[in-house]
Amino acid sequence: MIYIPQVIVGKDVRKEFGEFTAVDSVAFSVDEGELFGFLGPNGAGKTTTMRMIQCISPMTSGTLEVFGMDVNSHQREIKFKMGVVPQENNLDPDFTVYENLFVFSRYFDIPENEAKKRVEELLEFVHLEEKRDTMTESLSGGMKRRLVLARALINKPRLLILDEPTVGLDPQSRHLMWDKLKGLKKQGVTIVLTTHYLEEASQLCDRLVIMDNGKILVEGSPRDLIQEHIGPAIVETDKDPNIISCLEAHQANYEVLGEEIQIYTDNPQEITDHLLSECKLKRVTARTATLEDVFLKLTGRKLRE
């Protein structure tokens, strides 16, 4: 058995804003070198959880350790080893691209010569060399996001926290971001991210949790979660009372989602044939199950306010 140290361990982590419970006594742990995802609908409590891990929002109760240190008492030590990409860009509009990185390096006590070297490397890493003297306001959304990533890496963090790193990025920039994150993971950086792109989570995350209303609903690898909650494939057809009674008669594992019926199965071919003949279905499509199916099944289709 190989011993893998845990970088983040949270137990009974709870956050209340007045009467409202944003994070409801959750437990999670992130192993070293892992890419771990927090998924969940708007308002689920992802950002609130990230902010507690970053030591900038005090927990209401519970215990939370990062690198084996308590977030309540070792904030400085933890923050030295951590890089953060917040949900909202907060680049310094008073400075250029280059200055943003350089001024940030001072907050980490990085000696000036070393800092200059790192800034050059990072500008290259996120492809912003040409924009070095541009004020951050004149950057495009994708460039800003890349600069925030570069800024998060200035201290060579062992733990990287990314709150919706790819929000608003075009497909090219999103793939670039994925490549960068995969590269960092290869270097042994532990990465925690939140995202609404389930495709992204499936591709990147070793393990993830799905949160809703402040609670963690499930935890596992994308593949296991799909297997466990949906099965390998889905057969979809239009909603119709006759079909539902037919499915009931056959004790099929199905769910009605809006105007659609989804049947979860190991064997889509057999089910499809069966349904077409027995239940007189008109339109039937079969496809492999995705993390999005798990997400919608667990969190429902209702819009969050």
Partner 1 sequence: MDIGMYFKPPELTSGAFKVWRRNKDVFMKNAKLNLLPPFIEPLLYLFAMGFGLGMFIEEIDGVPYAKFIAPALISVSVMYGAFFECSYGSYVRMYYQKTFDAIIATPLSIEDVIIGELLWGATRSTISATLMLPVIALFGLITFPHSLLIIPFAFLAGLLFACLGMCIAAVTPNIMSINYPIMLFITPMFLFSGTFFPLNVLPEIVQYIALAILPLTHVVMIIRALTFGTPGLELLFNLAWIIGVCAIGFVVSVNMMKKRLVV
Ligand X SMILES: Nc1ncnc2c1ncn2[C@@H]1O[C@H](COP(=O)(O)OP(=O)(O)OP(=O)(O)O)[C@@H](O)[C@H]1O
By the criterion CB under 8 A, which residues form the site for partner 1? 17, 54, 56-58, 75-76, 79-80, 84, 86, 88, 90-95, 99, 103-104, 106-109, 155
Question: What contacts 120, CB < 8 A, 6 or more positions away?
Answer: none
Report d(CA 214, CA 278) in Å as an integer.
43
Choose the one of partner 1, ligand X, Mg ion, none that binds residue 108, judging by a C-beta under 5 to 8 angstroms depending on kind. partner 1
Say whether residue 40 binds ligand X (CB under 6 A). Answer: yes
Do residues 245 and 231 lie in contact, with contact meaning Cβ atoms separated by under 8 Å? no
The answer to whether residue 53 forms part of the interface with ligand X (CB under 6 A) is no
| CB of 41 or CB of 268, closer to ligand X | 41
User: Among partner 1, ligand X, Mg ion, none, what does residue 103 contact (CB within 5–8 Å per kind)?
Assistant: partner 1
Residue 112 to residue 102: CA distance in whole angstroms: 8
Minimum CB separation of residue 79 from ligand X in Å reads 20
Ranked by CB distance to ligand X, the top (closest) residue is: 47
* Stretch 66-95 residues interacting with ligand X (CB under 6 A): 87
**Residue 10 binds ligand X (CB under 6 A):** no
222 binds ligand X (CB under 6 A): no
CB of 55 to partner 1, least distance (A): 9
> Which of the choices Mg ion, partner 1, ligand X, none does residue 90 contact, using the CB cut-off of 5 to 8 A by kind?
partner 1
Q: Which of residues 165-194 bind Mg ion (CB under 5 A)?
A: none
**H/E stretch holding 148:** helix 141-152
Least separation in angstroms between residue 193's CB and ligand X is: 12
Number of residues that bind ligand X (CB under 6 A): 12
Query: Site map for Mg ion, 43-62, x if CB under 5 A?
Result: ---xx---------------
At 135 the three-state DSSP class reads strand
Exactly one of 33, 43, 62, 220 binds ligand X (CB under 6 A); that residue is 43
Three-class SS state of 209: strand
Q: Using alpha carbons only, give the angle 4, 30, 47 rounded to the nearest 5 degrees.
A: 165
Tell me whether residue 116 or residue 175 sits nearer to partner 1 (CB atom): 116
**Dihedral sign from CA coordinates of 208, 210, 216, 218:** negative
User: Which runs of E-coded beta strand occur in the chain?
Assistant: 6-17, 20-31, 35-39, 61-66, 69-70, 82-85, 159-163, 190-194, 207-212, 215-220, 233-238, 254-257, 260-265, 284-288
Mapped onto helix, strand or coil, the DSSP state of residue 97 is helix
Residues 162 to 191 in contact with ligand X, rule: CB under 6 A: none
3-state helix, strand, coil in the chain (%, to 5): 40, 30, 35
Nearer residue to ligand X within complex by CB, 42 or 277: 42
CB of 135 or CB of 167, closer to ligand X: 167
Which letter, b or e, does each residue of 47-63 get, where b requires 16 or more Cβ atoms within 10 Å of its Cβ? bbbbbbbbbebebeebe
Contact positions with Mg ion (CB under 5 A) in 17-46: 46
Count the Cβ atoms, other than its own, within 10 Å of residue 193: 26
Q: Which residue has the tokens 């009674």?
A: 245
* Among positions 8, 13, 22, 184, the unique one binding ligand X when judged by CB under 6 A: 22
Residues that bind ligand X (CB under 6 A): 17, 20, 22, 40, 42-48, 87
